[in-house]
Amino acid sequence: MRRLARGVLLLAAVVLAAGLLVVVLVRADEGGDPAPGGDGSGAPTTWPLRGTPVHGGDAGRPALAVKVDATQGGRPPIGLGDADVVVEELVEGGLTRYLAVFHSRDPEGVGPVRSARSTDIDLLAELGRPLFAWSGANPTFRALVEDADLVDVGAAAVPDAYRRAEDRRAPYNLLASPSALRDAAADAGTTPPVLFAYGAVAMPDARPAAGYRASTTATTIEWTWDEGAAAWRRTQDGTPHVDADGRPITATNVVVRTTEYRDSGVRDMTGAVVPEAVTVGQGDAWVLTAGHAVPARWYKPAADAPTTYTTLDGTPALLTPGATWVEVLPPGTGDVVGPA
């Protein structure tokens, strides 16, 4: 397919073929070859977690994954807008929490840093051997982190890389310095693999979408397509979600992964069940990209295997190069919002 000019998005005409109506979506490639690979030196030529060309920076370094608060008490978040990938998972009480993954860029600070959950272990396994920043956990979850194949740069392991913000109250005031975390883990970790497929090709079943709306028992999440910014804007509990510097929280792609949750066997201090995502297996998904929603499927054959996303006909679901949010949500909590 002929390469398109940067930033140009075209929706091909509805094609009538063999009596079937197929919507074809053609997307921009952000000016570079989105396929993973190297230049012969062993260094990636595209950022593995973003799919954009490398124009400086160390693409061979490990990913830094940070547990970040998602509740009203932790807003506005710090540094979240610089993440390449953010995974939102369900925690106790119907609340959610983020696993923010930084690779192509690091903010000056990130937080509020919060505690780990068992769901994190399988998610972190998909990042190679990443650095993991977290503020603690109960004994059961702490043991899981200690046994996992990752580099522990949590608050207990690298206390000097963390500080308490004076203008925030605990437990929403713990901030981490990515540069200090990386210094503490010099020469540790591995380069993350490519998590998603990217490309400017046609995808079947793509349809125009205004966004996606979901509600857990305690949190309402909404993504809305912003044509001018060519990105999805996030709203939480009815208010626009912004970073501490005032930047709207946006994503080039939003992947919604319908996932069952089970009882982890752990209770929080109030006695509430701490849920655990069933990350191994398969299920339905939506891929939101370029103002369109594509029905998809997700597959993860083993705990240490990557999660792959395909369209309903089994071909790879292709994303637009850029930042991606992955919503790991229980069945029946949300749905695509049609075009305005």
The model's pLDDT over 49-80, given as tens digits with 9 standing for 90+, comes to: 999 999 989 999 999 999 999 999 999 999 99
Lowest mean pLDDT among 35-49, 58-72, 211-225: 35-49
Q: Are 250 and 233 in contact (CB under 8 A)?
A: yes
What DSSP designation does 330 have? -
φ/ψ of 124, rounded to 5, equals: -65, -30
Q: Tokens 């005409």 correspond to what residue?
A: 13
Identical topology for domains 64-184 and 206-337:
yes
Average confidence score pLDDT of the chain: 87
Amino acid (1-letter code) at residue 300: K
Q: What pLDDT score does 201 carry?
A: 62
Q: What pLDDT score does 230 carry?
A: 95
Q: Are 62 and 151 in contact (CB under 8 A)?
A: yes
Residue 229's CB is within 10 A of a number of other CB atoms, namely: 11
Give the closest residue to 246 by CA, choosing from 78, 72, 74. 78
Whole-angstrom distance, CA of residue 325 vs CA of residue 292: 15
- For the segment 87-99, what is each residue's pLDDT rounded down to a tens digit? 999 999 999 999 9
Q: Which fold has domain 64-184?
A: YerB-like fold (3.50.90)
Residues contacting residue 314 through CB under 8 Å, at least 6 positions apart: none
Ranges of each domain in the chain: 64-184, 206-337
- Joined together, the tokens standing for residue 257 give 């992964």
Over residues 232-261, mean pLDDT: 96
Residue 221 has pLDDT above 90, yes or no: yes
- For the segment 289-319, what is each residue's pLDDT rounded down to a tens digit? 999 999 999 999 999 899 999 999 999 999 9
- Joined together, the tokens standing for residue 18 give 């063999």
Q: What pLDDT score does 321 carry?
A: 96
What is the torsion angle, in degrees rounded to the nearest 10, for the CA atoms of residue 26, residue 32, residue 37 and residue 42? -170
Residue bearing the bigger pLDDT, 26 or 118: 118
Residue 124's CB is within 10 A of a number of other CB atoms, namely: 24
- For the segment 104-122, what is each residue's pLDDT rounded down to a tens digit? 999 999 999 999 999 999 9
Q: Are 241 and 232 in contact (CB under 8 A)?
A: no
Over residues 239-264, mean pLDDT: 96
- Joined together, the tokens standing for residue 101 give 């993954």
Indicate the helix (H) or strand (E) that contains 6. Answer: none
| Residues in a beta bridge with 250 | 233
Q: Which fold has domain 206-337?
A: YerB-like fold (3.50.90)
Query: For the whole model, what pTM was predicted?
Result: 0.87
